[in-house]
Each structure stands twice: as structure tokens, then as C-alpha cells.
Amino acid sequence: MTSTTPAHRAAERAARQSYGKLIAYLAARTGDVAAAEDGLADAFAAALASWPTRGLPQAPEAWLLAAARRRIVDMARRRRTREAAADRLLLSVEEAATEMHPADVPDWRLRLMFACAHPAIEVAMRGPLILQTVLGLDAAAIAAAFLTAPKAMGQRLVRAKRRIRDTGIPFRLPDRADLPVRLDAVLEAIYAAFGAGWPDPGGIDARRQGLLDEAVWLGHVVVVCCRMSRRGWVCLL
Amino acid sequence: MQYMLAVYGDERAAESTPREQMTEIVNAYMAYTKALQDAKVLVASNRLRPTSAATTVRTVDGQAKVLDGPFAETKEQLGGFYLIDVPDLDAALNWAKRCPGARYGSIEVRPIWVM
């Protein structure tokens, strides 16, 4: 009903185009995917509250990033007394804040995909993780595609994200020696997402049809990043 | 981040290893430890005496019970550890792959929970 206002349309457009990019950047700084998701969700909520009255910001992506970062710092502060690790989180977020130029959000989605398809993550969860973190699909949609119960899928996603944070899985491109194997893992995860969107002969489930397109788009992101690296993978690091 | 590389292996197999091969293994461990030191990532390391030297304590109904032997019988036993300080899991895994213990058993890589 409200999706017709310009602010909502702008927020939706930003969500579609920037979601994975913003998650990738926020998570890479802290290693905490769940915190990045929570922060960005609040940022989108703030955008919907603020944009209709104050008008669209010049750089919506940078606006969302700044809002998400503030939220993550707040959450880290509140956790501080309970978890010493929050200090590290706080520090890296504040570091990121000082070196950021507005409207200049680097595209680290490939790093995020490498983290999601890391050998330390169980194979079956790599595709679902990529769908959730890069595309912002919810657990219910992913569960429908992978033919599992939404609740179970939600729990497994939470556990996998906690594992990324706790084990210290890096958000960076693998070393040259590891690259072929690690890239295969990413492509396999994307292919699993593609396959999950496929077996719907009647085309009844629109979400699954959408998944096909999304998986193709993910593959495209990888191809573009790899083509860029033809001169040397190092240039991407 | 700090990680513990827990070196697991079959103690019985180690006991029956010929002396010559044992020297080779010990040398490999010394070289590995030196490589960790040279890379300035080694925090601590030690070898453990076999589980035949283990004693287990457990409090049951408020009473401390002392039991001879390890807390559980397993196929592979914890034989030693390396505590290393590296940037991330990939770096820890690369060191684990180079550990001589990976050839004879398994290396469990666990992040240290900073309190």
C-alpha cells in the first residue's frame, strides 16, 4: 500500500541494489554477519521513517551505511559489559567510519561469498548463506527453495553466521594456491541455489522462479570479478 | 586472533614406531616449531605425556572424585598443542596443514575465547 511513495520506492531500489554490497562491507570490517544484518535492517527502517519527510539523501547507499554503522556501534556498546570481543568490533567499526568517503562503498560481495563458501562451513549451508547475505532472502524463502522447514533453516543460518564470526573466517580473496578449490566451492554454492530454483515445473512458486534469476546474477558477479582479475588476482586483494 | 592447534594421534601406533622413524618425526616437529617461532606467531606449545599418565577429576554430589585414566577412551588422543597468534582462520589452517601431526593423525583448530 505504501510502496508507491517515492521514499519507499527509493528505499526498495537501494535495498535491491545495495543490500549485498552493504552487508559485505559491514561484515568484512567486523567478521559478524548477523550484526551487519541487524544494523542494516535498522538503517532501512530509519530510511523509511526519514526519507518521506526530509527527502531523499544525495547518496542513499552511503546514508544507509552510516546509519547501519551507528546502529552496530550502539549494539556493540550495549554488549560491551558482557563480551570483551565487542571492543574489537567497536574499534573496527570506528576505524571504518574515519576512513570512509561518502558515496564510496567498495564492492566486497565476492569476499562475502568466499566467506560463506569457506571449507569450515558445512557444504549444505553455503548456498543458503550466500542467498541470505548477498541477496537478502529470508529464511522462509530459502527453506522453500531447499525444501526444508523454515524454522530449521533459520536456526542453521544463525549457527552458520555465528560460526563465521567465532572461528575467524576471513572476508578476503583466497591466496593464489587455494584459489581454484575455493572458487569451485563458491560456484558450487551458487549452482545449488540455481538448482533449488529449478525444479518447479509449473512455475507456480514465484519465489523459486526469482531464485533462478538471482543465482544467474550471482554467477555474473563472480564472472565480472574474475574477469577483472585476469591481469592478476592480486589486484583485487 | 589466537588459535589452539590440538594435535591428535593414535598413541598405540606411536609406541610401536621404530626408533629411526621416531627421530625423524621429532626432527620434523622441531623444524615446525622453529618455523612458527621465526614467523613470530608462536605463543606457546607443549607435548603431553600419553593418556596412561592421565588422571581425571570430577565433582559428583559435591564430592571430588579422582579417577585413573583419561576422561574418555578415544581412537585418537590429544598428544600436544600449539598456541598461535595469526590474523584469521585461513592462516591458522595453513599452519595446521604444515604440522607434522597432520600426517599421522589430525589437527583440531580452535579459536581462543577471549574473556
Q: Are residues A27 and A68 in the same domain?
A: yes
Q: Are residues A8 and A75 in the same domain?
A: yes
Contact (CB<8Å) A168/B115: no
Q: What percent of chain A has pLDDT over 90?
A: 31
How many Å apart are CA A159 and CA A163, to the nearest integer? 6
Query: CA-based angle A169:A184:B6, to the nearest 5?
Result: 40
Does the CA dihedral A120-A124-A125-A130 come out positive or negative?
positive
Q: What is the pLDDT of residue A236?
A: 43
B102 contacts B96 by C-beta, under 8 angstroms? yes
Q: Are residues A18 and A66 in the same domain?
A: yes
Nearest CB among A84, A118, A170 relative to B115 is that of: A84
How many Å apart are CA B10 and CA A237, to the nearest integer? 41
B60: β partners? B63
- Give me chain A's average pLDDT, please: 80
What's the pTM? 0.81
B7 contacts B82 by C-beta, under 8 angstroms? yes
Q: What percent of chain A has pLDDT over 70?
A: 75
Last residue of a domain, one of A105, A127, A144: A105
CA A235 to chain centroid, in Å, comes to 23
Return the residue in A81, A167, A169, A181 with the most chain B beta carbons within 10 A, the one to mutate for interface testing: A167
Q: What is the pLDDT of residue A234?
A: 41
How many Å apart are CA B107 and CA B7, to the nearest integer? 5
Q: What is the pLDDT of residues A30-58, one digit of tens each?
A: 899 999 999 999 999 998 888 888 888 88
Q: What is the pLDDT of residues A153-181, one digit of tens each?
A: 999 999 999 999 999 999 988 888 888 88
**DSSP string covering A66-124:** HHHHHHHHHHHHHHTTT-THHHHHHHHHHHHHHHPPTT-----HHHHHHHHT-TTS-HH
Range of the domain at A57: 1-105
Which grid cell is A29? Answer: 570490517
pLDDT at B6 over 90: yes
Contact (CB<8Å) A167/B89: yes
Name the architecture of domain B2-111: 2-Layer Sandwich (3.30)
Exposed/middle/buried for residue A13 (C-beta within 10 Å: 0-12, 13-18, 19+): exposed
Which grid cell is A209? Answer: 522462479
Q: Are residues A149 and A195 in the same domain?
A: yes
